[in-house]
Amino acid sequence: MTNPIRVAVLGAQGRMGSEAAQAVRDAEDMELTAALDREDSLDTLTATDTEVAVDLTHPDAVLGNLEFCVRHGVHAVVGTTGWTEERFGKLRGWLAEKPATGVLIAPNFGIGAVLTMRFAREAARFFESVEVVELHHPRKADAPSGTAARTAQLIAEARREAGLAAQPDATSTQLDGARGADVDGVPVHAVRMRGLVAHQEVLFGDEGETLTIRHDSMNRGSFMPGVLLGVRRIGTAPGLTVGLEHFLFNEEPSRPAAESDGAAGTRRGG
């Protein structure tokens, strides 16, 4: 039998982190080396020979955690949200210096959510109008959700590739926020409500018809198969991978030129 993957969870006292730590404990091919939270030292990662760190912390904490992980050659599987181009730039810079290290940023670990993004990208070129509505529990720190932002970006890319014009919208007066956040030309609306976990609808419309793609995570167990898939695959995926779909569908992620020339390590396929 091969040695178990040595995995630490960051944010282990949180809603997601506590589930992830249990999922790692329960996985026969993994060993939980550390369950760290806010007050704990990241030096534990190196002291315990951790191979993969799972980050489920907070947008304010994730970048510092990743800087430590990458500099120490610890692969990372990241569910924490709040990613911007500037943040990706920093991460790519650290990875360029540690080309054997892999980082997966997964806006959503739910298989159904990954499929929602895939289906939405596929549908995007056929509809003049599209809006995204995400619905979450009221303790969520960021809005819109990372999943909704990523979904909107994928839709916008597909619209651009298809040469679609801007969406029709005659709004000329509005209360602030009434038309949602503009993510790359796609309106994204965020609902926060007790009783919810994580939900998203992508609404498409054209002459005489609409299409709604909806995904619901009823509990955080829904994210665990995706977390474990990320942990199993990241050790052989150097560089930056954005989106679990690359592991789920065995796809090579597209990379900016600076990465595809090997500066941050190019990836094997599946």
Ligand X SMILES: NC(=O)C1=CN([C@@H]2O[C@H](COP(=O)(O)OP(=O)(O)OC[C@H]3O[C@@H](n4cnc5c(N)ncnc54)[C@H](O)[C@@H]3O)[C@@H](O)[C@H]2O)C=CC1
Ligand Y SMILES: O=C(O)C1=N[C@H](C(=O)O)C[C@H](O)C1
What positions carry a catalytic annotation?
136, 140
Spatial distance between the Cα atoms of 247 and 150, rounded to a whole number of angstroms: 17
Q: Give yes or no for residue 80 binding ligand Y (CB under 6 A).
A: no
Q: Does 198 bind ligand Y (CB under 6 A)?
A: yes
Gap between the Cα atoms of 253 and 84, Å rounded: 18
Residue 12 marked as a ligand binder: yes
Q: Which of 33, 147, 151, 222 binds ligand Y (CB under 6 A)?
A: 147
- 212 annotated among ligand-binding-site residues: no
How many Cβ atoms sit within 10 Å of the Cβ of residue 191? 13
- State how far the Cα of 30 lies from the Cα of 231, in Å rounded to an integer: 9
User: Quick one: which of 6, 75, 98, 136 contacts ligand Y (CB under 6 A)?
Assistant: 136
- Count of residues near ligand Y by CB under 6 A: 9
Is 219 annotated to bind a ligand? Reply is no
DSSP string, 235-251: TT--EEEESTHHHHTTP
Distance CA 77, CA 23 (A): 14
Asked whether position 81 contacts ligand Y by CB under 6 A, the answer is yes
79 is in an annotated binding site: yes
Strand intervals (E) in 119-260? 129-136, 181-183, 186-192, 198-206, 209-217, 239-242
Q: Is 145 in the site for ligand Y (CB under 6 A)?
A: yes
Indicate the annotated binding residues for (S)-2,3,4,5-tetrahydrodipicolinate: 137, 146-147
Indicate the annotated binding residues: 11-16, 37-38, 79-81, 106-109, 137, 146-147
Question: Can you give the binding site for ligand Y, defined by CB under 6 A?
Answer: 81, 107-108, 136, 140, 145-147, 198
